[in-house]
Amino acid sequence: MKGRIAELDFLKCIFILLMIVFHLAYIGDKYPYAKSLVYTFHMPAFLIISGYLMNVEKEIRPFLRMIVWIFIPYAVMESGYVIVSSVLPVRGGIDELGWGVWLEKLFLHPVGPYWYLHTLIVCGLTYYVAFRLFRNRRNLISFFIILGLLYAAEAAWAGVVSLPNAFYFLAGAVLRRTSVGFCSFFRPSLWAVLPFVWLASDMSNLDRALVSGVLLTYLAVSLSLVLYRCLPERFARAANFIGANTFILLVFSPIFTMLVKPLVPVFSFDSSGMLFLAVSLAITVSGCLGIAWLMDKLRLSPYFWGKARMIQRSC
């Protein structure tokens, strides 16, 4: 599978924007039901896409190089988040900072929004090792059963990964190994809105670990693909550009979701919070891309991302 897939970039755009929106504490507190609904499907969809795109057929050196250049931004930003959590009133903060706490958060139980990158590293490495050890097996089902058991062991051992999250990544890897394309499995259908609304109307269904959570994830992807087909070309290109640069937004967005908090009283006249949301989202996206652009210009990207130029072009 070579080149970018426009539909996947669009999906990544949708789900990264939803992630940013509900990392705005004011919006999450104002719309708790919507937050619970979005949290049911947006990161599971990301993990499915990640498993689908993970290329374990690479030789060991390029694969490990890819992992290293995920780990370095993760380690820098997670370390910064740990420090901030120990001195500022951050939700789920750290009471006492020390070397042991830092290493435990970095390698085992990350705090804050960087858990996704940690999960990506752990699941990707496990997938690669399993593929190298068992790739000669003809029975693909046996291989994925073994991989699932490895993920279950990692979840049971000190909770290195969340089992539901690992299984969403596994689902993407399974889909990649079949003859069914991503957009053939996740069929765009406007009819998906009916079961989506029905499931979403019951709070007890809003759990990614439940069958209802799996169904909501599937339906959310299906409905997003319908939206992609309806978008004017100009908006589709803009969405694909954001989707092609989601790694940048994943890494830097927590900086801006904290920085925009003082804007809450500025927009207090808007009781819906939508004006604050729109301005904060624009600041966060443009700020993240601006940092990456500046790093490219200052030639710092090779030392942080492992690339001469981090800003990616869309399809």
pLDDT tens-digit map of 32-83: 999 999 999 999 999 999 999 999 999 999 999 999 999 999 999 999 988 8
How big is the chain, counted in residues?
315
Reported as a pLDDT band with limits 50, 70 and 90, residue 313 is confident
3 state DSSP class of 169: helix
The runs of H, that is alpha helices, within the chain are: 6-23, 25-30, 32-53, 60-87, 99-107, 115-134, 140-156, 163-177, 182-185, 193-200, 211-230, 233-244, 246-259, 263-266, 274-297, 301-304
Tell me, what's the pLDDT at 141?
A: 85
The Cα 301–Cα 186 span in angstroms is 35
When pLDDT is averaged across residues 111-128 and rounded to a whole number, the result is: 94
Q: Which of 256, 266, 145, 167 is nearest to 211 (CA)?
A: 167
Q: Which of 272, 291, 254, 299 is nearest to 113 (CA)?
A: 254
The Cα 102–Cα 88 span in angstroms is 16
Torsion of CA 124, 148, 39, 21, to 10 degrees: 10
Q: How many CA atoms lie within 13 A of 272 on its CB side?
A: 4
Look up residue 312 and give its DSSP letter: P
Dihedral sign, CA of 175, 176, 181, 187? positive
pLDDT at 97 over 80: no
Tell me, what's the pLDDT at 159?
A: 87
Contact 253, 19 (CB under 8 A): yes
Amino acid present at 265: P
Contact 271, 40 (CB under 8 A): no
Q: Which residues contact 275 (CB under 8 A, 6 or more apart)?
A: 267
The Cα 144–Cα 140 span in angstroms is 6
The Cα 96–Cα 106 span in angstroms is 15
Tell me, what's the pLDDT at 142?
A: 87
Q: Which of 276, 303, 314 is nearest to 24 (CA)?
A: 276
Q: Which of 161, 141, 143 is nearest to 151 (CA)?
A: 161
In which residue are the tokens 């003082």 written?
262
This prediction has a pTM of 0.94
Amino acid present at 115: W
DSSP string covering 197-219: HHHHTSGGG--TTSHHHHHHHHH
Tell me, what's the pLDDT at 314?
A: 67
Tell me, what's the pLDDT at 111?
A: 84
Amino acid present at 149: L
Q: How many CA atoms lie within 13 A of 170 on its CB side?
A: 21
Q: Where are the domains of the chain?
A: 6-304
Tell me, what's the pLDDT at 137?
A: 58
pLDDT tens profile 170-219:
999 999 988 888 999 999 999 999 999 999 999 999 999 999 999 999 99
